[in-house]
Structure formats: structure tokens, C-alpha cells
Amino acid sequence: MLCKGCCTMMGTIFEIKRFAVHDGNGIRTTVFFKGCPLKCVWCHNPEGISFEKQMAYMPEKCINCGECVKVCPSSAHRIVNNLHVYQSIMCTSCGKCEEICLSGALKKYGEQISIQSLLSILLEDRIFYEQSGGGVTLSGGECLCQADFCEELLIELKHNGINTAVDTCGFVKRKAIEKVIPYTDIFLYDLKAIDENVHIKCTGKSNKLILDNLKYIDSCNKKIEIRIPFVPSYNAGEIKKIGEYLKNVKNLTKIKLLPYHNYAGSKYTSLAMRNTLPRELPQKEETDMAIATLKNMGFYVE
């Protein structure tokens, strides 16, 4: 039974992805938390960057029915010459338009949810976790920006015998890591660059805190899966440096090299956000070379 404090605690998420197979071992349910302290130029989840609720509008799906105009309290929607006009600057992201939209052209990112409600959803697929060796993964955005909520959720998941993973960029206070350490089976840890200047170019922030937190997690003897976004025009020269650095991480289970893709371009447009996605995509030869470099250093790489 949840304690009274847990019952009233709320977290802000933007997606629950069931039957995920790339966010840890086995079949998993991944919870995506809203808000991230980094601004990675290649971010493929731009809806997770802001800590605020956001409304996305996809004009290609709109049928100009005008139903959203009827319910919008801020007049962000109008019909002009039989066409739908959406003014995002006036939108309060209340979500009323999404509820009434007939074509799925409007989507709200950012919902508050209680631990009790979220837990009930996550436990629905317990049988799949048990049969596949899977579990629940907390991701984002950056889930540990809501560390108190994550801690209580992880406690409840462990009480129910569920395997847990925390997918983190590591740019959080040590206290946030300490809260979830006891209840996390494995950390899926992003590592973009070792050179601080390269990291700042890629994310807007120094990597000193990230590297310090990685050392701390390793000192706590927690399993760590390192994830490297591979973006040739930004961090291709960092692969060998990352490998050298990881030689000192004793609880490393594997490395996943994640070739950059630009599929999220339409998300930036729908959210009226500046698209920062690099134009250059990794070639297969470049990706293969990066993987081979890490394998030749003795790492298990996927």
C-alpha cells in the first residue's frame, strides 16, 4: 500500500511506451518524463526538453473542421477563409482542443500523473516483464530532474518485484542519483563526449558533472550500460577518447552506439521550436568504424 505522501505526489510525463525493446533488457515499459537540463543539438525527443506543457499542431492532419475553435479558452485557434489558423503564442496548453480534435492534428505533451495511477499502468504488463526478463525504464527528457517522484515510483516497483532501469544524461545533482541508487537495477547512461569543449558544443553544458556522477554510480557497484549518440559532425572524434575513459568503469555491461537520425524534424515544426538537427547523417562505414574502434578496445558493443 502506498504511503499518504506517495498518493499525493505528482510527476510530469509526456509518454508511456509499452513493449519497448531498446530501453534495457527484455520487454519493457518506458516512462518519458518532461524536462531536460541539456540542449543536445540532435535531440530526437524535443517534446521532452521543456519542463512546461506544450501543444503540438500537425497541419497535414488537420481537416479544418473548426471544433477546436469552439473549445479553446484563449482563442489560439481560428478558422480563416475555411482554413485552420493556429497561433501557438496564445496557447496555454490546456489540452481541450486535443480532446475534441477529430483528426489527431493536435497533441498535448506534458501530463501530471500520480504514482498510484502510473504504477497501475506499469503493472499491467508484469507477465511480459517476467517472461522476457524485462521491466520498467524511467527516461525523458531527464527523469532525475523529478528525483523525488522517481524514487518513490522505483520503491513501489521493487516492492512488486519489477526490474528497474534509469535512462539518464547524468547532468543532475548528486543527491538525485543518491535517491534512486538503491532501487535501480541498471543505469542506461548517456555519454556524448570526453572533451569538455566538444560536449558544450553538443549540449550547451560542461560534462564535468556527468563524468563525476558516472564515477559515483560505478563506485556503488551498479550495472551501467553506456549509450553513445554518434553524430559525425559533432562527436565522431570522441569515440576513442570515450573508450579510453570507460576502461576505468568496472561495472560496465555493454556499450550501445546510437547512430544519429533526423526523423524528429516534424516534431520541432509541430511544436514551433527551432530545429537544431544537424544535416549530416552518419554513413554506414563511419558507424562500423566507430563500433570496430570500441570492440578493438575490448568492449561489448551493440
Secondary structure of the chain as H, E, C letters: CCCHHHHHCEEEEEEEEEEECCCCCCCEEEEEECCCCCCCCCCCCHHHCCCCCEEEECHHHCCCCCHHHHHCCCCCEEEECCEEEECHHHCCCCCHHHHHCCCCCEEEECEEEEHHHHHHHHHHHHHHHHHHCCEEEEEECCHHHHHHHHHHHHHHHHHCCCEEEEEECCCCCHHHHHHHHHHCCEEEEECCCCCHHHHHHHHCCCCHHHHHHHHHHHHCCCEEEEEEEECHHHHHHHHHHHHHHHCCCCCEEEEEEEECCCCCHHHHHHCCCCCCCCCCCCCHHHHHHHHHHHHHCCCCEC
Is residue 6 predicted with pLDDT exceeding 70?
no
Range of the domain at 75: 54-109
The mean pLDDT value for 66-74 works out to 97
Of 72, 92, 109, the last residue of a domain is 109
8 — pLDDT class (breaks 50, 70, 90):
confident
What's the pLDDT at 4?
55
Q: Confirm whether 27 is domain-assigned.
A: yes
Q: Is the pTM of this model over 0.85?
A: yes
Task: Please tell me whether residues 157 and 279 are part of one structural domain.
Answer: yes
What's the pLDDT at 11?
98
What's the pLDDT at 18?
97
Q: How many domains does the chain have?
A: 2
Q: Confirm whether 80 is domain-assigned.
A: yes
Q: Confirm whether 105 is domain-assigned.
A: yes
What's the pLDDT at 63?
97
Task: Please tell me whether residues 65 and 212 are part of one structural domain.
Answer: no
Task: Please tell me whether residues 117 and 216 are part of one structural domain.
Answer: yes
Q: What is the pLDDT of residues 23-63, one digit of tens each?
A: 999 999 999 999 999 999 999 999 999 999 999 999 999 99
Task: Please tell me whether residues 261 and 152 are part of one structural domain.
Answer: yes
Task: Please tell me whether residues 120 and 183 are part of one structural domain.
Answer: yes
2 — pLDDT class (breaks 50, 70, 90):
low
Task: Please tell me whether residues 15 and 80 are part of one structural domain.
Answer: no
Q: Confirm whether 209 is domain-assigned.
A: yes
Task: Please tell me whether residues 221 and 289 are part of one structural domain.
Answer: yes
The mean pLDDT value for 281-286 works out to 97
Q: What is the pLDDT of residues 108-146, one digit of tens each?
A: 999 999 999 999 999 999 999 999 999 999 999 999 999
Q: Confirm whether 69 is domain-assigned.
A: yes
The mean pLDDT value for 194-198 works out to 98
pLDDT above 70 coverage of the chain, percent = 98
Of 93, 109, 125, the last residue of a domain is 109
What's the pLDDT at 85?
97
Q: Confirm whether 301 is domain-assigned.
A: no
Question: CATH no. for residue 292?
Answer: 3.20.20.70
Task: Please tell me whether residues 93 and 17 are part of one structural domain.
Answer: no
The mean pLDDT value for 187-202 works out to 98
Q: Confirm whether 302 is domain-assigned.
A: no
Task: Please tell me whether residues 42 and 154 are part of one structural domain.
Answer: yes
Greater pLDDT, 7 or 246 = 246
Question: CATH no. for residue 73?
Answer: 3.30.70.20
